[in-house]
Structure formats: C-alpha cells, structure tokens
Amino acid sequence: MDSRGVLQRGERVASPRDEPALSVKDLGFSYSGEPVLESLSFDLRAGEFAVLLGPNGAGKTTLFSLITRLYAYRQGLIRIGGHDLGRHAIQAHARMGVVFQQPTLDLDLTVRQNLTYHAALHGMAPAEARRRARLQLARVEMPERLRQRVRHLSGGQRRRVEIARALLHEPQLLLLDEPTVGLDIASRRALVDHVHRLCRDQGVAVLWATHLIDEVHPGDRVIVLHRGRIRADGSVTEVASRAGAAAIGEAFDRLTGGAER
C-alpha cells in the first residue's frame, strides 16, 4: 500500500495542466483465460466528453472495474491526472469520481447523510463536507432535497444525487457506467444533458459508458468498444465518415453488429 508520505507530496503538487485527466495505454485484461480487453489506448482531456459506446459484453464494465481498482491489471498502464494508478492509487483515486451502473446510495439515509459519508471517505472535515454537499446538490438542481431520505426520491433524482456525490471532491475525471439504466426517456434525456452541462461548466473530463446511441451528442467524442477492442475513436462525424456511414448510429451498427455476424 502507498505510504502517507507519497500522499502528502501528491497533495501539494497539483497535476500539471497538460496531463490528460485519464490516460490508458496498452491495457489488457483476461478473465479466466479469456481476453476481455486487448491493448486499449486512449487519452481523455479536461472538459472532454467521451462516450464509450459498446454493446453489452464489450468490456465496458471491466474497463471501469480496472480504473476503479476492483480488479488489478497486469498489462498496460492507467494514469489519472498524470498519476499512475498502479503505483500511486491514492492520488489517482483522489482525482476521480465514479457513478456506478448499480445504484449505490443508502436508501434509508438522507441525501445529506449519503453525501457527507462520501466526503468523509475523501477525508473531508464535517463542516467542509456539508458545504460541498449543498454546493453540489445545487449544481444538480435539487438543493431542497438535502434532508430527504433517498428512498423518497425518483430514479432520476437518485442518479443526480450520485452525480453530485461523485463530484463532491472536485475530481478531474468523472466516470459513469451506463448511468441511465432503469430511467424513463425524459429522465434519461435530462441526465445526459445535465452531465454535458457539468462537463462544459466545470471542465471535468467525462467518460460515459453506454450502449444507447441516442445518448451521444453531436459535439461528443465517441470511442467504440467491441469485444474488448477499440474499433473507432474520434468525433461523431469522424467516426461516422470513417465507417462509411451517414450517421453515428449506422456507423455503430457496422462497427459492432457487422462483426457479430
């Protein structure tokens, strides 16, 4: 485990501005002998919204499990804000916020209790935690819900609380693993727009994993993942034109569905 000395050094020296928020190089991972991810490489910069697009089973969740250190990787390199995840996990994790695929809020606790718990996990003092909880909840436009139990919130509201939670420690990188699962169309639309706005306003780098093509905005970067490999990486128009398709949806079908058959 990393020593605290390393941690203190990391606290004083902020990451250089030109370091990508997330850098993945030659990342590979096998699960009981079967390769799940093969030589993945991409960089993500501050303020960039990247949609990690892939059908179910493409390896999106595995990639997230590696970045969040649920599994350890043996092959390749992951850097967050310039900090090597393998060697300096503490600094790397301090710069990362995650919204998991499954809801992870405590239903019986209030919104504020959920948020201050997360703040404590990042070492924040109680007063600072409460201040940031109010701030982030205002940013997701639900300041009046602070004292409500999570159980009484709708699915879309819970997701927004999770996003506020992930941004509480002001990370450089926000990871979202299929965050719209289980939401109705209107809440889904609102959530996608909302995170785009956060990305623009706060300059946080966003990696948004989904298999739903309609969650892609025209200005987004698209990384198409299929069977553990990156099939395309670029702006919406680039990916479409390179695949010889008129629209991104068609390009996605060609890049993934085509390989299926």
Interface ranges with another protein (CB under 8 A): 1-2, 4, 7-8, 11, 32, 36, 56-62, 65, 68-72, 89-94, 96, 98, 100-104, 106, 108-109, 113, 116-126, 129
- Rank residues 59 and 243 by Cβ distance to another protein and give the closer one: 59
CB 107, min distance to another protein, A: 9
The answer to whether 169 and 136 have CB atoms below 8 angstroms apart is: no
* Whole-angstrom distance, CA of residue 99 vs CA of residue 103: 8
Which of these, 21, 7, 16, lies nearest to 81 by C-alpha position?
21
CB 24, min distance to another protein, A: 17
Which of these, 170, 261, 204, 206, lies nearest to 49 by C-alpha position?
206
CB within 8 A of 240, min separation 6: which ones? 246, 247, 248, 250, 251
Angle 196-127-88 (CA atoms, 0-180°, nearest 5)? 60
CB 180, min distance to another protein, A: 16
- Rank residues 10 and 240 by Cβ distance to another protein and give the closer one: 10
Q: Is 85 exposed, middle or buried (0-12, 13-18, 19+ CB in 10 A)?
A: buried
CB 95, min distance to another protein, A: 9
- Rank residues 128 and 201 by Cβ distance to another protein and give the closer one: 128
CB 170, min distance to another protein, A: 13
- Rank residues 30 and 241 by Cβ distance to another protein and give the closer one: 30
How far does the chain reach from its first CA to its final CA, in angstroms?
A: 46
- Rank residues 106 and 141 by Cβ distance to another protein and give the closer one: 106
Q: Look up residue 240 and give its two tokens.
A: 């479409």
CB 203, min distance to another protein, A: 21
- Rank residues 122 and 189 by Cβ distance to another protein and give the closer one: 122
